[in-house]
Structure 1
């Protein structure tokens, strides 16, 4: 989400100013990554099975395994597609990575999506397995 600051990483500030759709793309991607992180934790923790008590109307009830799985696969797919473009921007012929630190921060991005999809499938299989 550094694209929202005056000091963006990976892209030049003037280039982002000329193309405001890239800022929206970056913001959407950032929120998808945060949502994917929360989804992953939810898939692994107890609150992936039972809604926490503090959530209004559904607190304490069991979570249906379908909607977290579908949501995680959708976010994982979006991160996978975006990860490819991020890797291409960072390491392709027209690479714009300014430093090794930026390259290190972008490097795990392409694998987050597939790992979230794998976590969603494992969650679904665990929740729907018969004893």
Structure 2
């Protein structure tokens, strides 16, 4: 129990249980899903046509501002994918102590789960069409390039569903835990099942 000066003791929060093994594996898979496309975009930014025809490469704007766009999308995708690890790690429940002014604070579980859920839906909408990649013509790419790019982007189809499952697991783990035990009928006591 912890006490504030001059006040009644405040019960300590019940710790959140560890993430299930499947969720830890799924979070690591999400963190790796963006690597193939990230490497491909880095090749584009470095000046390689990487499957595009010369005309397709130029039309994509890659000799100019397209390079900055490719780098930005790669960096943003990698960071977003790495945030999935927070759904299975302690820093996704309580901010690390080394963060100035915020370290040690508990994150609002509902907000974290909602943000992850909304992101999962957006990612599913964005990447699911890549499952149909080979059904569409790609005149700006070489035949071999279109095959390789399709294979590189195909793992991203799983990003939304995996993140959605992680968000549900996170919400379930954190919803019954972390509130002071013994208040109003026993919040803080884990749900059964």
The alignment's TM-score, normalised by the length of structure 1, stands at 0.75
Larger radius of gyration between Structure 1 and Structure 2: 2
Which one of 114, 118, 129 corresponds to residue 85 of structure 1? 129
Residue deviations 1:75-124, cap 9 Å, x none?
Answer: 22222122123334x32221456165433321211111111011011101
- 1:86, 1:128 → 2: CA distance? 35
1:57 match: secondary structure: coil
Which one of 45, 48, 51 corresponds to residue 7 of structure 1? 48
Higher relative contact order (CA 8 A, sep 6+): 2
Select between 63-72 and 4-13 the one with higher mean Cα deviation.
4-13
- 2:120, 2:130 → 1: CA distance? 15
1:110 match: secondary structure: helix
Which runs of 5 or more structure 1 residues have no equivalent in the other structure?
Answer: none
Residue deviations 1:6-54, cap 9 Å, x none?
Answer: 3355653122129x99878866754553243222100101111110011
- 1:74, 1:24 → 2: CA distance? 27
The alignment's TM-score, normalised by the length of structure 2, stands at 0.54
Which one of 60, 77, 81 corresponds to residue 16 of structure 1? 60
- 1:35, 1:123 → 2: CA distance? 19
Name the counterpart of 1:128: 175
2:150 match: secondary structure: helix
Name the counterpart of 1:63: 107
Q: Which runs of 4+ in 1 moved over 6 A?
A: 20-25
Select between 103-112 and 9-18 the one with higher mean Cα deviation.
9-18
Normalized per residue, which structure has more helix? 1
Which runs of 5 or more structure 2 residues have no equivalent in the other structure?
Answer: 1-37, 177-188
2:61 match: secondary structure: helix
